[in-house]
Structure 1
Amino acid sequence: MAFVSGRRLAQLLGIVALGALAAGCTTTKPTTDAKGAKLGYAAEPKETGTTGFFSSHSFSGLAGRSVTVNSIADLRLRNHEVVLTFDDGPMPGRTENILKVLDNAGVKATFMIVGQMARSYPALVREVAAHGHTIGTHTQSHANLAHMSAAGAQAQIDGGIKSVSAALVPSMHGVAPFFRFPYLASTATLRRELAARGIVVIDADIDSKDYFPSSPDQVRKRTMARIEQRGSGIILMHDIHPRTAQMLPQLLADLKAKGYKVVRLVPGHRSRELLVSSLTTGTVTTPEQTALAYSNR
């Protein structure tokens, strides 16, 4: 049996984890093959990166205000304001392209990270944070919490928080108390419990459906049409699909041309921070202990 390096093993584990995520945060039935297995990258275009997308675009003035979020009530956007969110990553060769586009446009996004992916690619989690983006969580393994027991759902939520926390420990960054339900499938009970813990649920107003086997331009046009219909909103995208990075520069150019502003979400001082960079393995094991440690710093 051939020897597999630790780095290669991490990559393989990430790909396995990604297979469970490939359908994206949709409530529709994922594409399957003849044997019923999920198709991770059905009809994905050939990866071309983002080279050449930037030269014709000027993004001056696209960046808008920062919104401090302590509760769902703070998630109020003005007309022609949007929030960029990316779920399910990080993924090497994919997330970096998204970061390049956002850097070029001078805007910030919120990344809702899956715990398994954070465990496989912790350095990439830290890279996202180092670029100034807000990091929230998206469960440990992208499970549908609405179909789980209360204990199972809490384990998924806490597992995701703990894994992303571990990835960020070596850095000076922490995770915002922001959470998104996989498949956007929630329950009233889970929402109440999250609110009681100071965790803000980040819902989505505009689903790009970039997990569908569409061309980058189809994703862009579909997303822009929905934005224009609503006039503002939180946009759901995924940093695990090449088509998303490929269409993103033109989507941002469209937003700029139509007078939209990209709003940055940041956690408020009154939020109970679940993760802090000074924590080390073994000192804190639960979100409640983390919150207590943060309050005693």
Structure 2
Amino acid sequence: MRMSRARKAVLLGVVVIAVGLTGRAAAQSTPEEPVAAPAASPSVPAVSPKPKPPSKAPVPHKPPKGIPTGKSVSYAGGPAGSRTMTGSKGIALTFDDGPDPATTPQLLKMLKQQHVKATFCLVGQNAAKFPNLVRQIAADGHTLCNHTWDHSLKIGKDPEAKIRSDLARTNNAILRAVPTAKVKYFRAPGGNFTPRLVSVANKLHMSSIYWKLDPRDWDHKKGESSSAHRARVISSIRKHAHPGSIILSHDYAQPDTIAAYRTLLPYLRKRYQLIALP
């Protein structure tokens, strides 16, 4: 049976609509596949961004305990890391090998008159022999320092146990005289520090101090008069003293040193801050 032209047109429209609905349903039910990124050309390798270098901000250098902070750049520089500077603008006068019953009282009197505090590096056997002088040094507000039991120049080469025994014996002699004393510093005779010696001192809670200026007051040259010796010591300290310096001197059996400091103390006081190591 033949369909009329109008019916054919209606039927064709229905078919077109049905096909369209079917395609839309298929599109909604099938997830869209991701589009692959184009491959890099084999002749031009992919270049990743260059990473920025890490920041190289300087790590602050902290001074060891017991050394005052300040504007001085360095406080170390001696053998085995021993200290040569105070860490502040203050100059530290240090006197080795005592106490001496002949010269130490003269020095203490002079320091008191000039209102100056200093650091005394005591030999243990001298401290044991003259405890009253150790008490006077402490009572005047000066700092105490361990200088070994018998001024051994080779102690840094001794075994660790022997070093520890020597330093502890010296501290005990000081503490018998002044039980409340704090011995926070150690100086090797002759400045002969070794890493082992510094390590043992550190384990006994003592910082190792060297010096920045040695006027060689201990060195009496052949034929040098007392006045010439004093003049040489005074000239050396005047010329080479700088803020922050640790200055080495001796109060044991060195009367010319005591005489030199009668001139030096007023001179230094006018120009520098004089401190005892804290």
TM bucket (normalised to shorter chain) is 0.5 to 0.7
> Taking structure 1 as the reference length, what is the TM-score of the superposition?
0.60
What are the residue-to-residue correspondences of 1:187-198 with 2, within 5 Å?
187-198=194-205
Q: Deviations over 1:117-141 (max 9, x none)?
A: 0111111111111111111211111
* Alignment coverage as a number of residue pairs: 192
Other-structure match for 2:178: 168
Whole-Å Cα distance in 2 between the matches of residues 208 and 234 of structure 1?
11
For residues 153 and 193 of structure 1, do their structure 2 counterparts lie closer, same or farther at Cα, with a shift above 3 Å needed?
A: closer
Which one of the candidate residues 151, 160, 164 is aligned to 2:161?
151
The Cα shift of 1:253 comes to 2.2
> Taking structure 2 as the reference length, what is the TM-score of the superposition?
0.63
Looking at CA atoms only, which structure, 1 or 2, has the larger radius of gyration? Answer: 2
Secondary structure in 2 matching 1:129: helix
Secondary structure in 1 matching 2:99: coil
> In structure 2, what residue type is equivalent to 1:175?
K
- Superposed structure 1 runs of 4+ greater than 6 Å apart: none
Other-structure match for 2:236: 222
> In structure 1, what residue type is equivalent to 2:204?
R
Equivalent residues of 1:142, 1:182 under 8 A apart:
yes
Other-structure match for 1:136: 145
For residues 73 and 133 of structure 1, do their structure 2 counterparts lie closer, same or farther at Cα, with a shift above 3 Å needed?
A: closer
Equivalent residues of 2:68, 2:88 under 8 A apart:
no
Structure with the larger RCO, 1 or 2 (CA within 8 Å, 6+ apart): 1
Other-structure match for 2:78: none
The Cα shift of 1:256 comes to 3.2
1:95 and 2:89 equivalent? no
Structure 2: runs of 5+ lacking an equivalent: 1-62, 70-74, 76-85
Q: Percent identity?
A: 30
Whole-Å Cα distance in 1 between the matches of residues 165 and 267 of structure 2?
41
Other-structure match for 2:266: 253
Of 190-199 and 238-247, the range deviating more from structure 2 = 190-199
Secondary structure in 2 matching 1:136: strand
What are the residue-to-residue correspondences of 1:17-28 with 2, within 5 Å?
none
Other-structure match for 1:178: 185
Question: By percentage of residues, which structure has more strand?
Answer: 1
Q: Deviations over 1:174-231 (max 9, x none)?
A: 132211111111111221232243211122111121111162222111222221xx44
> In structure 1, what residue type is equivalent to 2:161?
A
Whole-Å Cα distance in 2 between the matches of residues 134 and 161 of structure 1?
13
Other-structure match for 1:115: 124
Which one of the candidate residues 218, 238, 241 is aligned to 2:250?
238
What are the residue-to-residue correspondences of 1:44-59 with 2, within 5 Å?
none
Which one of the candidate residues 230, 241, 262 is aligned to 2:274?
262
Whole-Å Cα distance in 2 between the matches of residues 113 and 98 of structure 1?
14
Secondary structure in 2 matching 1:265: coil
Whole-Å Cα distance in 2 between the matches of residues 71 and 196 of structure 1?
15
What are the residue-to-residue correspondences of 1:25-40 with 2, within 5 Å?
none
For residues 246 and 73 of structure 1, do their structure 2 counterparts lie closer, same or farther at Cα, with a shift above 3 Å needed?
A: closer
Structure 1: runs of 5+ lacking an equivalent: 1-67, 267-297
Which one of the candidate residues 54, 65, 71 is aligned to 1:70?
65
Whole-Å Cα distance in 1 between the matches of residues 138 and 64 of structure 2?
18
Other-structure match for 1:206: 213
Q: Deviations over 1:257-296 (max 9, x none)?
A: 4x21102322xxxxxxxxxxxxxxxxxxxxxxxxxxxxxx
